[in-house]
Amino acid sequence: MAENEQPVKPKSKKMLFIILGVVLALAIGGGAAYYFLVMKADSKSAESSKPKVPELQIFVPLEVFTVNLRPESTEPQQYLQTTLNLQVPSEEMSASLKARMPELRSRILLILTNKKASEITSVEGKNALMTDIIEQLQKPFSGSETEQKITGVYFTSFIIQ
């Protein structure tokens, strides 16, 4: 051996493991970012492009309501005759409402007789009346703790005389 040659030091494997660990962590982080940013966005757009299945529309027709309206100060007694249909999400809810028809009609009658003709002749007044009916009918019936699910109230006849 020559005098100026020094013994060769073995290379440290520790530095190699650190570099491989950093590269592996970056690869995993990049893959996770790609998945959450690209793949999730694709799945959301695929879901939104699918045609939505319309909810089942079940209507419960109610008999005609004829009520005295609350009197106006200058008007003679006025009457309301209306027919409505309730929209519910399931056949079970429809059957439940039909079984409770006397209580259901009573709630609606109390709402209608508490209105003045001037309050319900406009479109806004009719919309407010529909909201009142939905709120009252969704409350649990006597002897029951479950709320009804009423998704809509539709007037099929509305006459004020």
For residue range 9-32, what is the model confidence (pLDDT) as tens digits? 656 778 777 888 888 888 888 888
User: Is the distance from CB of 84 to CB of 154 less than 8 angstroms?
Assistant: yes
For residue range 82-133, what is the model confidence (pLDDT) as tens digits? 999 999 998 998 998 999 999 999 999 999 999 999 999 999 999 999 999 9
Q: What is the pLDDT of residue 68?
A: 93
Q: What is the pLDDT of residue 53?
A: 52
Q: What is the pLDDT of residue 104?
A: 92
Overall residue count recorded for the chain in this entry: 161
Q: Report residue 27 as tokens.
A: 């690869």
Q: What is the pLDDT of residue 10?
A: 59
pLDDT band at 45 (very low <50, low <70, confident <90, very high): low
Q: What is the pLDDT of residue 101?
A: 92
Residues 6+ apart with CB under 8 A from 107: 136, 137
Number of other residues whose CB lies within 10 A of the CB of residue 122: 10
pLDDT higher for 103 or 35? 103
Residue with tokens 């690209």, as numbered in its chain = 38
Mean pLDDT score across all residues of the chain: 84
Q: What is the pLDDT of residue 66?
A: 94
pLDDT higher for 75 or 115? 115
